[in-house]
Amino acid sequence: MITEFESLKAYNTFGVSAQARYFARFQSIEELRELLEHETIRTNKRLILGGGSNMLFTRNFDGVLLKNELKGIQKISEDEHHYFIQSAAGEVWHELVMHCISANYAGIENLALIPGCVGASPMQNIGAYGVEIKDVFHSLEAININDGSLRVFKLDECKFGYRESVFKREEKDKWIIVSVTFRLKKRAVLHTSYGAIEEELDSMHLDNVSIKDVAKAVINIRSSKLPDPKKIGNAGSFFKNPVVPMQVYRAIQEKHNNAPCFPIDESHVKVPAGWLIERAGWKGKNLGNYGVHDKQALVLVNYGGATGSQIYDLSTAIISDIKQKFGIELEREVNIIA
Protein backbone atom coordinates (compact mmCIF):
# COMPACT_ATOMS: atom_id res chain seq x y z
CA MET A 1 0.00 0.00 0.00
CA ILE A 2 1.25 3.45 -0.92
CA THR A 3 0.52 6.23 1.56
CA GLU A 4 0.94 9.98 1.16
CA PHE A 5 2.68 12.65 3.25
CA GLU A 6 4.21 10.11 5.64
CA SER A 7 6.23 11.51 8.53
CA LEU A 8 9.85 10.34 8.42
CA LYS A 9 10.87 11.46 11.90
CA ALA A 10 10.73 7.90 13.25
CA TYR A 11 12.60 6.55 10.22
CA ASN A 12 15.85 8.51 10.51
CA THR A 13 18.29 8.28 13.41
CA PHE A 14 18.88 12.03 13.38
CA GLY A 15 15.23 12.33 14.40
CA VAL A 16 14.65 15.34 12.15
CA SER A 17 11.17 16.13 10.94
CA ALA A 18 10.49 15.51 7.26
CA GLN A 19 7.76 14.02 5.09
CA ALA A 20 7.75 11.70 2.10
CA ARG A 21 5.29 12.61 -0.65
CA TYR A 22 4.67 8.87 -1.10
CA PHE A 23 5.66 5.98 1.17
CA ALA A 24 5.50 2.20 0.85
CA ARG A 25 7.12 -0.78 2.55
CA PHE A 26 7.95 -4.24 1.23
CA GLN A 27 8.57 -7.52 3.05
CA SER A 28 9.18 -9.80 0.06
CA ILE A 29 10.72 -9.58 -3.39
CA GLU A 30 7.26 -10.19 -4.86
CA GLU A 31 5.89 -7.15 -3.00
CA LEU A 32 8.83 -5.08 -4.20
CA ARG A 33 8.30 -6.07 -7.81
CA GLU A 34 4.60 -5.22 -7.59
CA LEU A 35 5.45 -1.82 -6.16
CA LEU A 36 7.97 -1.12 -8.92
CA GLU A 37 5.22 -1.65 -11.51
CA HIS A 38 2.96 0.92 -9.86
CA GLU A 39 2.60 4.11 -11.88
CA THR A 40 3.21 6.35 -8.87
CA ILE A 41 6.55 4.68 -8.25
CA ARG A 42 7.55 4.51 -11.91
CA THR A 43 6.91 8.23 -12.45
CA ASN A 44 8.50 9.68 -9.31
CA LYS A 45 12.02 9.76 -7.94
CA ARG A 46 12.69 6.98 -5.45
CA LEU A 47 14.63 6.53 -2.24
CA ILE A 48 15.29 3.20 -0.52
CA LEU A 49 15.21 3.29 3.27
CA GLY A 50 16.62 0.68 5.62
CA GLY A 51 17.47 1.76 9.15
CA GLY A 52 17.72 5.45 8.27
CA SER A 53 21.05 5.62 10.08
CA ASN A 54 23.19 7.15 7.36
CA MET A 55 21.05 9.92 5.95
CA LEU A 56 20.11 13.49 6.74
CA PHE A 57 16.83 14.92 5.44
CA THR A 58 17.30 18.64 4.85
CA ARG A 59 13.76 19.03 3.52
CA ASN A 60 10.67 16.96 2.68
CA PHE A 61 11.28 14.20 0.16
CA ASP A 62 9.23 14.90 -2.96
CA GLY A 63 9.14 11.37 -4.27
CA VAL A 64 8.54 7.77 -3.23
CA LEU A 65 10.29 6.36 -0.18
CA LEU A 66 10.45 2.54 -0.22
CA LYS A 67 11.16 0.96 3.15
CA ASN A 68 13.07 -2.32 2.98
CA GLU A 69 11.68 -4.78 5.56
CA LEU A 70 13.07 -8.01 4.11
CA LYS A 71 14.00 -10.46 6.89
CA GLY A 72 15.86 -13.74 7.23
CA ILE A 73 19.34 -15.08 8.00
CA GLN A 74 20.58 -18.50 6.86
CA LYS A 75 23.76 -20.49 6.28
CA ILE A 76 23.61 -21.40 2.61
CA SER A 77 26.86 -23.38 2.30
CA GLU A 78 30.29 -24.01 3.75
CA ASP A 79 33.71 -25.22 2.68
CA GLU A 80 36.79 -26.35 4.55
CA HIS A 81 37.55 -22.92 5.97
CA HIS A 82 34.41 -20.80 5.63
CA TYR A 83 30.70 -20.48 6.28
CA PHE A 84 28.61 -18.61 3.71
CA ILE A 85 25.88 -16.68 5.54
CA GLN A 86 23.10 -14.97 3.61
CA SER A 87 21.13 -12.18 5.25
CA ALA A 88 18.10 -10.34 3.92
CA ALA A 89 18.79 -6.66 3.41
CA GLY A 90 16.22 -5.46 5.94
CA GLU A 91 17.86 -7.22 8.89
CA VAL A 92 19.42 -4.96 11.55
CA TRP A 93 23.18 -5.06 11.08
CA HIS A 94 24.10 -5.43 14.76
CA GLU A 95 21.61 -8.29 15.16
CA LEU A 96 23.30 -10.10 12.27
CA VAL A 97 26.68 -9.61 13.96
CA MET A 98 25.41 -11.06 17.23
CA HIS A 99 23.73 -13.96 15.41
CA CYS A 100 27.04 -14.84 13.74
CA ILE A 101 28.97 -14.56 16.99
CA SER A 102 26.53 -16.88 18.76
CA ALA A 103 27.03 -19.44 15.98
CA ASN A 104 30.82 -18.91 16.03
CA TYR A 105 30.97 -17.51 12.49
CA ALA A 106 34.07 -15.27 12.61
CA GLY A 107 34.93 -12.12 10.72
CA ILE A 108 32.44 -9.36 11.51
CA GLU A 109 32.90 -9.09 15.28
CA ASN A 110 34.82 -5.80 14.87
CA LEU A 111 31.73 -4.33 13.19
CA ALA A 112 29.46 -4.74 16.22
CA LEU A 113 27.05 -1.93 17.13
CA ILE A 114 27.31 -0.15 13.77
CA PRO A 115 23.81 1.24 13.20
CA GLY A 116 21.73 0.50 10.13
CA CYS A 117 20.52 -2.46 8.12
CA VAL A 118 22.39 -5.17 6.25
CA GLY A 119 21.47 -3.83 2.81
CA ALA A 120 23.37 -0.61 3.42
CA SER A 121 26.57 -2.39 4.47
CA PRO A 122 27.96 -3.06 0.96
CA MET A 123 26.70 0.23 -0.44
CA GLN A 124 28.81 2.09 2.08
CA ASN A 125 31.49 -0.60 2.53
CA ILE A 126 31.06 -0.02 6.25
CA GLY A 127 34.10 -0.53 8.41
CA ALA A 128 35.47 -0.17 11.91
CA TYR A 129 38.56 -1.15 13.89
CA GLY A 130 40.53 -2.48 10.94
CA VAL A 131 37.78 -4.48 9.23
CA GLU A 132 35.61 -3.52 6.24
CA ILE A 133 32.73 -5.27 4.49
CA LYS A 134 34.95 -6.03 1.50
CA ASP A 135 37.06 -8.28 3.77
CA VAL A 136 34.12 -10.63 4.44
CA PHE A 137 31.92 -10.05 1.40
CA HIS A 138 31.01 -12.87 -0.98
CA SER A 139 28.08 -11.61 -3.08
CA LEU A 140 24.77 -9.78 -3.04
CA GLU A 141 21.44 -9.96 -4.82
CA ALA A 142 19.79 -6.82 -6.12
CA ILE A 143 16.59 -5.99 -7.97
CA ASN A 144 16.75 -3.71 -10.99
CA ILE A 145 14.47 -0.74 -10.34
CA ASN A 146 13.51 -0.37 -14.01
CA ASP A 147 12.54 -3.93 -14.93
CA GLY A 148 12.42 -5.92 -11.66
CA SER A 149 15.09 -8.39 -12.76
CA LEU A 150 17.42 -9.91 -10.16
CA ARG A 151 21.19 -9.75 -10.50
CA VAL A 152 24.00 -11.23 -8.42
CA PHE A 153 27.00 -8.94 -7.78
CA LYS A 154 30.30 -10.61 -6.90
CA LEU A 155 33.11 -8.99 -4.93
CA ASP A 156 35.01 -7.50 -7.86
CA GLU A 157 31.81 -6.13 -9.42
CA CYS A 158 31.06 -4.03 -6.34
CA LYS A 159 34.29 -2.00 -6.74
CA PHE A 160 34.66 -1.39 -3.03
CA GLY A 161 36.71 1.56 -1.82
CA TYR A 162 36.92 3.53 1.39
CA ARG A 163 33.21 4.01 2.27
CA GLU A 164 32.54 3.56 -1.42
CA SER A 165 31.08 1.04 -3.82
CA VAL A 166 29.69 0.86 -7.33
CA PHE A 167 26.24 1.53 -5.81
CA LYS A 168 27.31 5.04 -4.84
CA ARG A 169 28.80 5.75 -8.25
CA GLU A 170 27.96 4.34 -11.69
CA GLU A 171 25.18 2.04 -10.43
CA LYS A 172 23.64 4.60 -8.09
CA ASP A 173 19.82 4.57 -7.94
CA LYS A 174 19.60 1.60 -10.32
CA TRP A 175 19.35 -1.29 -7.84
CA ILE A 176 17.63 -2.31 -4.62
CA ILE A 177 19.79 -4.70 -2.60
CA VAL A 178 17.66 -7.57 -1.29
CA SER A 179 20.25 -9.90 0.27
CA VAL A 180 23.96 -10.04 1.10
CA THR A 181 26.09 -13.17 1.49
CA PHE A 182 29.15 -13.06 3.75
CA ARG A 183 32.19 -15.36 3.72
CA LEU A 184 32.97 -15.95 7.39
CA LYS A 185 35.78 -17.97 8.91
CA LYS A 186 35.49 -21.25 10.79
CA ARG A 187 38.73 -20.46 12.59
CA ALA A 188 38.86 -16.88 13.84
CA VAL A 189 41.68 -14.51 12.94
CA LEU A 190 41.28 -11.75 15.51
CA HIS A 191 41.92 -8.10 14.66
CA THR A 192 42.70 -6.40 17.95
CA SER A 193 45.53 -3.97 17.18
CA TYR A 194 43.37 -1.16 15.81
CA GLY A 195 42.20 1.66 18.05
CA ALA A 196 41.61 0.91 21.72
CA ILE A 197 40.60 -2.76 21.35
CA GLU A 198 43.75 -4.21 22.94
CA GLU A 199 43.51 -1.81 25.86
CA GLU A 200 39.85 -2.67 26.38
CA LEU A 201 40.55 -6.40 26.19
CA ASP A 202 43.35 -6.02 28.75
CA SER A 203 40.92 -4.34 31.12
CA MET A 204 38.60 -7.35 30.79
CA HIS A 205 41.32 -9.69 32.21
CA LEU A 206 40.72 -12.58 29.81
CA ASP A 207 42.72 -15.78 29.55
CA ASN A 208 41.73 -16.58 25.96
CA VAL A 209 40.18 -13.96 23.69
CA SER A 210 37.23 -15.07 21.52
CA ILE A 211 35.24 -13.29 18.82
CA LYS A 212 32.57 -12.69 21.47
CA ASP A 213 35.17 -10.89 23.59
CA VAL A 214 36.30 -8.75 20.67
CA ALA A 215 32.69 -7.78 19.95
CA LYS A 216 32.17 -6.95 23.62
CA ALA A 217 35.28 -4.74 23.60
CA VAL A 218 34.06 -2.95 20.47
CA ILE A 219 30.60 -2.47 21.99
CA ASN A 220 32.16 -1.05 25.18
CA ILE A 221 34.32 1.39 23.20
CA ARG A 222 31.54 2.53 20.88
CA SER A 223 29.08 2.90 23.77
CA SER A 224 31.54 5.08 25.70
CA LYS A 225 32.21 7.41 22.77
CA LEU A 226 29.10 7.44 20.61
CA PRO A 227 25.63 8.64 21.62
CA ASP A 228 22.71 6.23 21.41
CA PRO A 229 20.48 7.44 18.51
CA LYS A 230 17.44 6.45 20.60
CA LYS A 231 18.45 9.11 23.13
CA ILE A 232 20.31 11.71 21.05
CA GLY A 233 19.70 12.06 17.33
CA ASN A 234 22.79 11.27 15.25
CA ALA A 235 24.04 9.22 12.32
CA GLY A 236 27.36 8.09 13.75
CA SER A 237 30.46 9.35 11.95
CA PHE A 238 29.38 12.29 9.81
CA PHE A 239 32.66 12.69 7.91
CA LYS A 240 35.07 10.34 6.17
CA ASN A 241 38.68 10.17 7.32
CA PRO A 242 40.54 12.03 4.54
CA VAL A 243 43.30 10.35 2.55
CA VAL A 244 45.94 12.96 1.75
CA PRO A 245 49.34 13.15 0.02
CA MET A 246 52.31 12.75 2.35
CA GLN A 247 53.41 16.36 1.79
CA VAL A 248 50.04 17.63 3.06
CA TYR A 249 50.40 15.53 6.20
CA ARG A 250 53.98 16.72 6.74
CA ALA A 251 52.81 20.33 6.53
CA ILE A 252 50.32 19.57 9.32
CA GLN A 253 53.00 17.74 11.30
CA GLU A 254 55.23 20.83 11.27
CA LYS A 255 52.62 22.64 13.36
CA HIS A 256 51.25 19.61 15.22
CA ASN A 257 54.02 17.08 15.79
CA ASN A 258 51.58 14.63 17.40
CA ALA A 259 49.26 14.57 14.39
CA PRO A 260 48.07 10.96 13.93
CA CYS A 261 47.96 9.19 10.60
CA PHE A 262 47.57 5.72 9.09
CA PRO A 263 49.71 4.83 6.06
CA ILE A 264 47.81 3.98 2.88
CA ASP A 265 50.72 3.62 0.47
CA GLU A 266 54.16 5.13 -0.03
CA SER A 267 52.79 8.56 -0.87
CA HIS A 268 49.43 8.81 0.99
CA VAL A 269 48.18 8.62 4.56
CA LYS A 270 44.77 8.67 6.20
CA VAL A 271 44.31 11.44 8.77
CA PRO A 272 41.56 10.99 11.40
CA ALA A 273 38.83 13.54 10.66
CA GLY A 274 37.86 13.53 14.33
CA TRP A 275 41.36 14.73 15.28
CA LEU A 276 41.19 17.57 12.74
CA ILE A 277 37.76 18.67 13.96
CA GLU A 278 38.81 18.50 17.60
CA ARG A 279 42.03 20.47 16.98
CA ALA A 280 39.99 23.10 15.18
CA GLY A 281 37.90 23.59 18.34
CA TRP A 282 34.60 22.09 17.24
CA LYS A 283 34.39 19.16 19.65
CA GLY A 284 31.52 19.71 22.09
CA LYS A 285 30.30 22.80 20.22
CA ASN A 286 26.73 23.38 21.39
CA LEU A 287 24.35 25.41 19.24
CA GLY A 288 21.27 24.96 21.38
CA ASN A 289 19.30 22.03 20.07
CA TYR A 290 22.15 20.67 17.92
CA GLY A 291 25.92 20.60 17.79
CA VAL A 292 29.06 18.44 17.85
CA HIS A 293 29.21 15.59 20.34
CA ASP A 294 31.41 16.22 23.37
CA LYS A 295 33.03 12.77 23.32
CA GLN A 296 33.48 12.21 19.58
CA ALA A 297 34.09 15.13 17.23
CA LEU A 298 33.07 13.07 14.18
CA VAL A 299 29.48 12.95 15.41
CA LEU A 300 26.99 15.74 14.81
CA VAL A 301 23.96 15.56 17.07
CA ASN A 302 20.35 16.67 17.25
CA TYR A 303 19.43 17.27 20.89
CA GLY A 304 15.80 17.64 19.86
CA GLY A 305 13.94 19.90 17.46
CA ALA A 306 16.82 20.75 15.12
CA THR A 307 16.17 20.78 11.40
CA GLY A 308 18.17 18.83 8.88
CA SER A 309 19.25 22.06 7.20
CA GLN A 310 20.70 23.35 10.49
CA ILE A 311 22.79 20.21 10.90
CA TYR A 312 23.85 20.39 7.25
CA ASP A 313 24.90 24.03 7.64
CA LEU A 314 26.95 23.05 10.70
CA SER A 315 28.74 20.39 8.65
CA THR A 316 29.42 22.99 5.93
CA ALA A 317 30.94 25.35 8.49
CA ILE A 318 33.20 22.57 9.80
CA ILE A 319 34.32 21.62 6.29
CA SER A 320 35.18 25.25 5.52
CA ASP A 321 37.10 25.70 8.78
CA ILE A 322 39.14 22.50 8.35
CA LYS A 323 39.98 23.52 4.78
CA GLN A 324 41.20 26.91 5.98
CA LYS A 325 43.23 25.60 8.93
CA PHE A 326 44.68 22.39 7.53
CA GLY A 327 44.31 22.55 3.74
CA ILE A 328 42.17 19.40 3.79
CA GLU A 329 38.62 19.24 2.47
CA LEU A 330 36.51 16.85 4.50
CA GLU A 331 33.91 14.73 2.75
CA ARG A 332 30.57 13.87 4.29
CA GLU A 333 29.96 10.19 4.94
CA VAL A 334 26.26 10.71 5.62
CA ASN A 335 23.93 10.82 2.60
CA ILE A 336 22.31 14.22 2.28
CA ILE A 337 18.68 14.07 1.10
CA ALA A 338 17.88 17.47 -0.33
Answer for the pair 152, 139: CB distance below 8 angstroms, yes or no.
Answer: yes
Answer for the pair 91, 118: CB distance below 8 angstroms, yes or no.
Answer: yes
Q: How many CB atoms lie within 10 A of CB 193?
A: 9
Kindly give the residue spans of alpha helices, DSSP state H, lying in 17-154.
29-36, 39-42, 93-102, 120-124
Pick the catalytic residue: 163, 183, 222, 332?
163
Pairing of strands 131-132, 55-57: unpaired
Q: What is the pLDDT of residue 338?
A: 86
Give the tens place of pLDDT for each residue, 75-124.
999 999 999 999 999 999 999 999 999 999 999 999 999 999 999 999 99
Whether 333 is catalytic is: yes
For residues 51 and 337, give the distance between their C-alpha atoms in angstroms, rounded to a whole number.
15
Q: Where are the domains of the chain?
A: 3-68, 73-225, 233-337
Burial class of residue 230, CB neighbours in 10 A (0-12, 13-18, 19+): exposed
For every one of its 338 residues, what pLDDT tens digit does the chain have, with 9 covering 90 and above? 999 999 999 999 999 999 999 999 999 999 999 999 999 999 999 999 999 999 999 999 999 999 999 999 999 999 999 999 999 999 999 999 999 999 999 999 999 999 999 999 999 999 999 999 999 999 999 999 999 999 999 999 999 998 999 999 999 999 999 999 999 999 999 999 887 899 999 999 988 999 999 999 999 999 998 999 999 999 999 999 999 999 999 999 999 988 999 899 999 999 999 999 999 999 999 999 999 999 999 999 999 999 999 999 999 999 999 999 999 999 999 999 98
Burial class of residue 147, CB neighbours in 10 A (0-12, 13-18, 19+): exposed
Answer for the pair 90, 180: CB distance below 8 angstroms, yes or no.
Answer: no
Q: What is the pLDDT of residue 153?
A: 98
Whether 237 is catalytic is: yes
- Assigned fold of 3-68: 3.30.43
73-225 is a CATH 3.40.605.10 domain: no
Pick the catalytic residue: 237, 279, 315, 332?
237
Q: What is the pLDDT of residue 84?
A: 98
Query: Selecting from 3.40.630.40, 1.25.40.10, 2.30.38.10, 3.90.78.10, what CATH number does the domain 233-337 have?
Result: 3.90.78.10
Q: How big is the CA angle at 334 (ends 253 and 317), to the nearest 5 degrees?
A: 55
User: DSSP code of 174?
Assistant: T
Give the C-alpha distances (Å, rounded to integers) separating 231 from 14, 213, 274, 302, 303.
10, 26, 22, 10, 9
Name the pTM for this structure.
0.90
Give the tens place of pLDDT for each residue, 245-261.
999 999 999 999 889 99
Whether 200 is catalytic is: no
Give the C-alpha distances (Å, rounded to integers) separating 97 from 39, 108, 125, 217.
38, 6, 15, 14
HSE at residue 97, side-chain half, CA atoms within 13 A, is 25
